[in-house]
Amino acid sequence: MKMKEISKTDYPDWFLKKRTGKNLIVSPAIPWLMVGFPVLILIAIVIYPTIWMGYHAFQNTSMMSLFNNNFEYVGWSNFYNVMTSDRMHESIYRLIQYLLFGACLEVILGTILALILYEMIKNELLRIVLLILMVMPMMLPPSIVGVLWKFLLQAYNGAINHLLINLGFLDAMERIEWLGAEFALYSITIADVWQWTALPLLIVYSGRVSLPPAIYEAARVDGAPTWMVLKRITLPMLKEIIAIAFIIRFMDAYKFVDKIYVMTSGGPGQSTELPVFIAFQKGIREVEVGEAAAYAWIIFVFAALLITLFLKYLKNVLKAQAFA
């Protein structure tokens, strides 16, 4: 079959009309400006402060030296003072407590709630309403959450102690010092769990929604009980998602300052100080910039090392699944 040749009369007039305007000429400098501007912003807000912090980590930088612009090089003394101080050792121990009790509890509770929402709540509207209610604490600023829980946990006027008295767990004149040295860290951790359990909940819930329904249909046809499906199918397939949720909460633990500052300011004594809070205290309140920079670099190195180990583990798991 012979194809019909297309003549100029087959094109519309606007297509055949010659352009009267000049061709757009793009300056060679425009691509460099488009790339260079974000690079300048990156240098201004990330690279330069990091270099500045690295420089002052080796200087004896105090408030007076900042005003006089006169710094004394002290080598590794700031790092040595930080690593050998009891304050640092105790804060690391408290950080491990927070990670084991806080971050792990958030991921475990978030996983359980996500599976309950998806597996047991069949009404779609009720499921959405419950999901919104669980996510609402995460939308609040951490400082507001700290103020809220500080009022709830007060010894004499707090709602928690009054509730325990009304339920008969405490005598009328008995009080628990929730923000005292014995319970302060756990109280702050509970406030953090209340706010951030929603994050792993959303991550695990999204992962559960994305799982292929054909596998569950086959398991149902084979007569597999619910607990067996959960153990052999759901949890193994969500293992990487749960690991990612834990990594995110683990990374966030290293900048856990706001609630501590609002609820206890690191006290009573130093009972709720974590490493990053000490860096904040050193840099902002005590204006010992040299030691604060050393704290920050040590925290950064440890965090980067642990996160690298987690990512390596995740990579090995994914590689094993790819060859399975």
Strand partners, 73: 59
Q: What is the pLDDT of residues 126-165, one digit of tens each?
A: 988 998 999 999 999 988 999 999 999 988 888 898 888 8
Which of 91, 24, 134 lies closest to 256, judged by CA?
Answer: 91
> What's the chain's length in residues?
324
How far is residue 20 from each of residues 25, 26, 27, 249, 263, measured CA to CA in Å?
A: 15, 18, 21, 60, 70
Average pLDDT, the chain: 82
For residues 82 and 34, the model is more confident at 82
Please determine, for residue 109, whether its predicted confidence score (pLDDT) is greater than 90: yes
Are the beta carbons of 278 and 83 closer than 8 angstroms?
A: no
Domain ranges in the chain? 86-323
Q: Taking the complete model, does pTM exceed 0.85, yes or no?
A: no
* Sole residue written with tokens 């759901």: 234
Residue 195 pLDDT: 92
Distance separating alpha carbons of residues 311 and 71, to the nearest angstrom: 39
Instruction: Spell out the residues 6+ positions from residue 159 whose beta carbon is closer than 8 angstroms to its own.
Output: 151, 152
Which of 250, 114, 268, 128 lies closest to 188, judged by CA?
Answer: 268
When pLDDT is averaged across residues 69-78 and rounded to a whole number, the result is 81
Fold classified for 86-323: MetI-like fold (1.10.3720)
Extract the tokens encoding 276. 């990053």
Residue 10 pLDDT: 59
Please determine, for residue 321, whether its predicted confidence score (pLDDT) is greater than 90: no
Please determine, for residue 324, whether its predicted confidence score (pLDDT) is greater than 80: no
Percent of the chain with pLDDT over 90: 16
For residues 1 and 91, the model is more confident at 91
Could you count the other beta carbons within 10 Å of the beta carbon of residue 276? 20
Q: What is the pLDDT of residues 162-204, one digit of tens each?
A: 888 888 888 878 888 999 888 999 999 999 999 999 999 999 9
Which of 239, 240, 233 lies closest to 212, judged by CA?
Answer: 233
Please determine, for residue 108, whether its predicted confidence score (pLDDT) is greater than 90: yes
Distance separating alpha carbons of residues 24 and 54, to the nearest angstrom: 47
Distance separating alpha carbons of residues 132 and 201, to the nearest angstrom: 11
pLDDT interval class at 7 (50, 70, 90): low
Please determine, for residue 43, whether its predicted confidence score (pLDDT) is greater than 80: no
Residue 13 pLDDT: 63
Residue 200 pLDDT: 92
When pLDDT is averaged across residues 307-318 and rounded to a whole number, the result is 75
3-state secondary structure of 69: coil
